Chains A and B, each alone.
Chain A
Amino acid sequence: MNPNTLIQSWLDRQLPESAGQWLTEQLARSRSEPSRSNIQILLGLAPRKLGREDLMLRPSDHAAADRARHGWDPTGWTVDQAARIVGLAEHAVTCNDFPQFFTYLCRSADVQEAIALYQGLPLYPQPDQLEPQAGEGLRTNLRSVFEAVAHRSPYPREQFDDNRWNQMVLKALFIDSELAPIQGLDQRANPELARILCDYAHERWAAGRPISPELWRCVGPYADDNALADFERLIDTGTDTERRAAALALSSNPDARVQPLKARVREHVLAVEAGTLSWRSLAGTG
């Protein structure tokens, strides 16, 4: 099943009959006479007609989502968001200037609508053309909008260049957003990001402010001598959680130079090897 059909089947299952019927009619109209005004009506009325309940998903739905579109994760969607996304994804197929239209919609969206527009990024055509607007989504001051781009989505990993990627990771830390829900963190780690994050850690240390233990995840694989000194400090003076983070980060680096440091957090390194300690468990997201 393709993603659009899947979303419709979830909504059909959950929505009351009259609401489901309204959506079916809107989608049919949007297909038979695609127009900007029809899709804007659907986007505007979705929460009024369908409500804003959480979209109820079973474990098998998540597996089906990943099969339909690799990396797609609809966790945390609401029914109005799902309806807006499927409506727009369908409209996009016949829209001849979708990237411009997408930008227009984002600029005139309310918060809940903006979240939906960005959550749908993995499902729209011409994904590379939408990248500048996705970057705008990251510039927001609204954490929920930022996370609609960054979290539980394959889009950033696939479309962002290193500069955009690095800024996204740094900003996530800056606004106290979790890193664990960002897809591709380990694959997209790079030396420049490791340097930026170490600088950021130094700023935080200097100001006497706490540092998210997740920061070290993107430093570990590219730890240079300076970064190794930071890990030493983390192990010497850090909290227990920070020592676990050090063990996790250092375990991702095969270099012989990290061995002495690993030995100092040996019990945690063993937990990593045994699979009982992971970045997800450290972040408390399961």
Chain B
Amino acid sequence: MMLIDPHAHMTSRATEDYQAMAAAGVVALIEPAFWLGQPRTNVGSYFDYLSGLIGWERFRAGQFGIRHYCTMGLNSKEANNEELADGVMEILPRFALKEGVVAIGEIGYDEQTDLEDKYFRLQLELAKELDLPVMIHTPHRDKKRGTSRSMDVCEEHGVLPSKVVIDHNNEETVDEVLDRGYWAAFSIYPSTKMGNVRMVDILRRYGSERIIVDSACDWGISEPLAVAKTAQLALENGLPEEHVRGACYANALSAYGQSGQMKEEDWLNPPAIDQRTLFEGNSILRGGREPVVVQERSAGSLESLLID
């Protein structure tokens, strides 16, 4: 089964993660601009980070036959540094219209401060102006209220729910997000976000309509094979293949494909120019073989498909 990981911070990952993801069937991923684990002190380092997402990181992914897309945005933590935030808002339009930029994101709230609110709203306006989807990071703390508030603000600014992916959902937030017409993404991230046993339960209860699975893998203890492992676990538990395909591939493509910058033919039939410059193609898939979900890796434990 072809898979998409629509939330993966690959600049923080090692090359062998790309190899393992490609071997497990990941054909495309989306790397949202985010907080690097410590704050940037000036707009110059933010500028270089954004240009790395569309440059070197995309090339790195292409070497393994994985199509790399990204989202551009000012994250909520760094929105609290006003000088930096103003600088980032100035350069965002230059980066948001690059090839393969599929959304403004990840944006939203962290501590739900006034400055976070200010730059969240400014970026929603930018997304509207550029006709791009939005990827929303919901806060770790005071999550339920922060999630509701994020959707309230989107509606206040006239951003359509069908163009907004609400990410990092859990059992407590999913009902409201789906009821209000948004895409509901779940990050399968050990300990702090969702585990994949719980995710399979959600798919069993809700089906796959507007539900998206991602890894959110980054510099923490996280799992770049989270989408692949969740897909396999769901199939082993007897969930219908079309639901697994929807949540682990097709819905992400539909949601972020609204940007016009992400198409299935990008990996099924890449243009010659890309094969010369960016993308090595995926011989595993082109050869028609079923990809292996879990490949031997030199680091980490492979004993279990389960991520708790």
A interface residues, Cβ below 8 angstroms from B: 40, 44-45, 47-48, 52, 54, 78, 107-115, 141-142, 144
Contact = CB atoms under 8 A, between A and B. Distances in A.
Contacts, number: 50
Nearest to A112: B99
Interface stretch (B47-55, B77-85, B139-147, B243-251): B47-55
Contacts of B273: 52, 54, 78, 112
Given A44-B97, A107-B47, A107-B51, 6 more contacts: A108-B91, A108-B94, A109-B55, A111-B54, A141-B56, A142-B59
B94 A142 contact: no
Interface of B: 47, 51, 54-56, 58-59, 91, 94-95, 97-100, 260, 271-273, 276-278
B260 A108 contact: no
Contacts of A54: 272-273
A111 B52 CA distance: 10
B47 A48 contact: no
A108 B51 contact: yes
B55 A110 contact: yes
B56 A142 contact: yes
Most buried by A among B58, B260, B273: B273
Contacts of A115: 277
A61 to B, nearest CB: 19
A144 B277 contact: yes
Contacts of A110: 54-55, 58, 98-100
A133 to B, nearest CB: 14
A7 to B, nearest CB: 17
Most buried by A among B58, B277, B278: B277
Given A52-B271, A54-B273, A144-B277, A111 B58 contact: yes
Nearest to B98: A110
Contact of A144 (B47, B94, B276): B276
Nearest to B56: A141
